[in-house]
Amino acid sequence: MQVLLWDKQTQKKVKRDFGTHFDKNVFKKVNRILSEVRQRGDLALRRYTREFDGIDLPLKRLRVVEGDINRAYEKIQVKFVPMLKQISENVKEYYEKELKASFSVKGKDGIYLAKRYQPLERVGVYIPGGTAPLVSTVYMTVIPAKVAGVKEIVMATPPNRDTGEIDPHMLVVANLLGVNEIYRIGGAQAIGALAFGTRTIQKVDKIVGPGNQYVTEAKRQVYGFVDIDMVAGPSEVAIIADASADPDFVTCDLLAQAEHYGGISYLVTPSKKLIDIVRKRVDGGFIIQVKSLQEACEVVNEIAPEHLEIVTESPESLLNDIKHAGAIFLGPYTPAVIGDYIAGPSHVLPTGGTARYYSPLSASSFIKSSQVISYSKEALLKVKEHVQKLADMEGLVLHRISMEARFVEKREPAPQTKV
C-alpha cells in the first residue's frame, strides 16, 4: 500500500484523485448505447447482449419466465431458502421501523397544510452479474422497495457468458421476494431499457442498484427521464485504527474490499507499528499517516467513503466527528462484510466521495411525497394584498387576476321577460 503523510499536498491529492471522475470515452460510449436503445428498443438490447455478454439471445428469451424459475429451484440446496428467510427478516425489520409518516397542520381561519407519502409504482433494480451471483444485492434492493409498498419491481441482470442463464440462487431469491419481472439484460443497455422502455420492457419510475463504470454513467445520463438512487461505483472501505487494533483484522478487512473489481482500500492511522505491518501484507490502496484520531476523522470526512470501520480503543467516541460516510461499522467485531450480508441496512451505498451528498439506499428511497394545501375564503382574503404585490413585482399579471377573481362581486343576471 502507498503510505501518505496527512499534509497539504495529500489533502489536495484526496480532493483531486479520490473522488468519482468523469471519463469522456465512457460518456461517449454510454451515450451511443442509450441513444440506440431509445431508438431501436429490443433490437439494440439483443445486439449489445451479443456484443458485450457474448450471448446471442432471442428476443423471446429476454424475459425470465415461470419455467426458468422452477428449474432454478431444482438447482439449489434445500437449506438455502430457510437461510434466506432468516436474513430477509433482519432486513425487513430494519426498514419497517424507518419509514416516515404523513402529517398535517391546521392553522387559523381555515388553513390546512399536509404532506402525503406514497410509494413509487414501478421500480427497476439492476443487479451486477454475469460472472459472480450477487445474491445479497437482490435482497438488499428488493426488500426496502417491498416494505415501502412499491407495486411493480423489475429486475435486470446480465446473463452468464457461458450458459446464457441467470444464476439459480438469484432467481430463487427474486421469486421468493416477489419480484414481478426479471430480464436477462445488463450494462448500459439495461439502464436504457428501464429508463426509456422497449417493446418487451416497460419503462420504470426509478432505477436502483450498483454497477460498473458503464452502468454508473448510464444512470447518470438517464437521470431526469427517471429517478435514480445514487451514482454508485467501485466498492471502497476506509479504516480508522489505532495501536490497539488487531493487525490481522485490519489486513483481512482491507483485502476483502479489494476482492471487488476496482475496489479501493484506505487505512488511516497514527500507529507507525500498524503501518509497518499492513504495508507488507496488502498491495494497492493507501495508508494515510495522521498525528491523532481527531485528524483521522478529518481525513475520512474528505474521502467520504462508502464503508467506514472504526477500530480503536473507544470507537463510539469518534462517531460524532464523522460527517461523511455511507455506512459506519464500530469496533473490532463489526467488519464491513456484516453489512454486506446480514445486519439489515442495505449495502447499496454512495461511493467515490458521493457520501457527502447521497444517502444509502433505504425504504424511503422508494417513497415520494405530495403537498396538500387548503385555504378558506377568510384565510385567502388575509393574504390577498401580499400576493397582489408579489405578482406585480414579478410581472405576472394573470397570477394577480387569479387571486382577485375570488373576490369580484358577481351580479345576478337580469330576469328575462317572455314576449
Find the angle CA(138)-CA(52)-CA(232) to the nearest 5 degrees.
40
> Catalytic residue at 89?
no
Hunting for cell 429486475 — which residue is that? 155
Catalytic annotation, pick one of 217, 236, 307, 347: 307
> Catalytic residue at 21?
no
Contact (CB, 8 A) for 184 and 146: no
Instruction: State the helix-helix crossing angle for 168-176 and 80-96, rounded to 10 degrees.
Output: 50
351, 288, 264, 295: which is closest to 19 by C-alpha? 351
Catalytic annotation, pick one of 169, 306, 309, 347: 306
Residues involved in catalysis: 306-307
